[in-house]
A = this chain, B = another copy of it.
Amino acid sequence: MIKFTNDELQIVKKLEILKNEAGSHSPSIITFRQKLPEVEIKVDACFLSNPYATDLFLEYFDEEILKSGKIRDLLECYPSQNGVIAEILAEFLQINAKNIFIGNGAIEIIQAVIHNFTRRKIMINIPTFSSYYEYVKEGVEVVYNELSKDNDYGLDVDSYIELVKLHRPDTIVLINPNNPNGAYTRIKDVQRILDELSFVDNVIIDESFIHFAYETENYQLVSLAHLVEKYPNLIVLKSMSKDFGIAGIRAGYGIMKESYVKSLLDSGYLWNSNGFAEYFFRLYTQKDFAVKYDKVRIKYIVETLEFIHELKQLPGIKVYPSMANFVLIELMDGIKSTDFVSKLLITYGIYIRTCDDKIGLKGQFIRLASRSKMENDYIIQSLKACIEMNVILDLVNETTG
């Protein structure tokens, strides 16, 4: 059992209020600093992004935007329209511009797709990213496919296909790797799903964490985006916040059939980008940047693997298999996840995400992001200390109790 002093309990209470106000998501770090200034966050391990990619982006931003004085243009001028930015991406992604829809973050595309194209029934694997069921419109039925704890919350492709055939939803969602557990479904299996389920109108594959997954030893990038022409029901969504570490810019894109892109553009979403996102998309397609980015991507994957390996050595927790830049951790020995999160924050300044609100999880879970090597080391030490303290307290309780 984790114990708190009276002062700490005051903070625990405030934390609870803050979390409730943020709904099914974590409060942003800016909100956090504003509303809970008494807590110093040293490491934001809620934050699912590659910090080395942020460094790289900042290098370019400094050189190309700040030193050149172009910052005024980014702030002052209207960004280009959706279709113009799509054209920039098209060549780089080798995908027809008419199949590309630019979003103000992937979240906007999730909303747009589910509001506009899901009409009858949606099947969602749980645990999942909550927006997928929260954005479902009134009158649309939601069927949950509970991923099995025995299978480490991974997707059993055969039984998934059977279940979709049974329920016949018009929309299915597969986050790959999945959030919040990081389980990865191999490309050939996803293709099998597409082959078998051509009767489903919308197969949403969310590849927001795909830059951290790999199938070959050299960590080569994988993606299904190029299959949109072959499978007209395929919708690939991509957040750029995680892999490029630029969540403040809000950049994402969706690859989908031409008629869907047209329908979204006709109903609005014309200027839904901003000057900084447009700059990012142009940079993203720049060859020298792409080469450097791939290096920091692989560096981060390798360090994340080390981080996960070290986490697995810690007693009292179970680390679930992940191919994303975070891990789902189950707390054993009766530790409550909200207590654990509060303790880590108050004593060590580490901000992590409780998974209390995630439907489909059975037990006490937290989700922990991989950060820089230095931060990861600090997280490991702090977790260890926190778990040991808990063991000692339990022993004391047993002896005195």
Contacts and interface: CB of A to CB of B under 8 A. Distances in A.
Contact of A75 (B23, B108, B276): B276
Given A72-B58, A248-B276, A275-B249, A28 B81 contact: yes
Contacts of A61: 71, 75
Interface string A248-286: 111000000000000000011111111111100000000
A31 B75 contact: no
A245 B80 contact: no
Contacts of A275: 30, 247-249
Interface string A59-76: 001000010000111111
Contact of A247 (B76, B104, B115): B76
B80 A31 contact: yes
List the number of copies, as a whole number: 2
A29 B269 contact: no
Contact of A111 (B29, B51, B81, B268): B268
Given A79-B248, A267-B111, A269-B111, A30 B73 contact: yes
A241 interface: yes
Interface in A222-264: 241, 245-250
Given A58-B72, A135-B268, A274-B276, A78 B115 contact: no
A77 B250 contact: no
Contacts of A58: 71-72, 75
A54 B29 contact: no
Interface in A74-98: 74-81, 83-84
Contact of A78 (B29, B34, B131, B278): B29
Contacts of A111: 267-269
Contacts of A245: 76
A105 B78 CA distance: 10
Nearest to A266: B134
Interface in A99-121: 104-105, 107-108, 111, 115
Contact of A104 (B22, B72, B241, B274): B274
A173 to B, nearest CB: 15
Contacts of A78: 28-30, 47, 241, 247-248
Residue from A51, A111, A271 having most chain B Cβ neighbours under 10 A: A271
7 contacts: A75-B249, A79-B247, A107-B270, A111-B269, A131-B268, A135-B268, A247-B275
Interface of A: 21-23, 25, 27-31, 34, 47, 49, 51, 54, 57-58, 61, 66, 71-81, 83-84, 104-105, 107-108, 111, 115, 131, 135, 137, 241, 245-250, 267-278
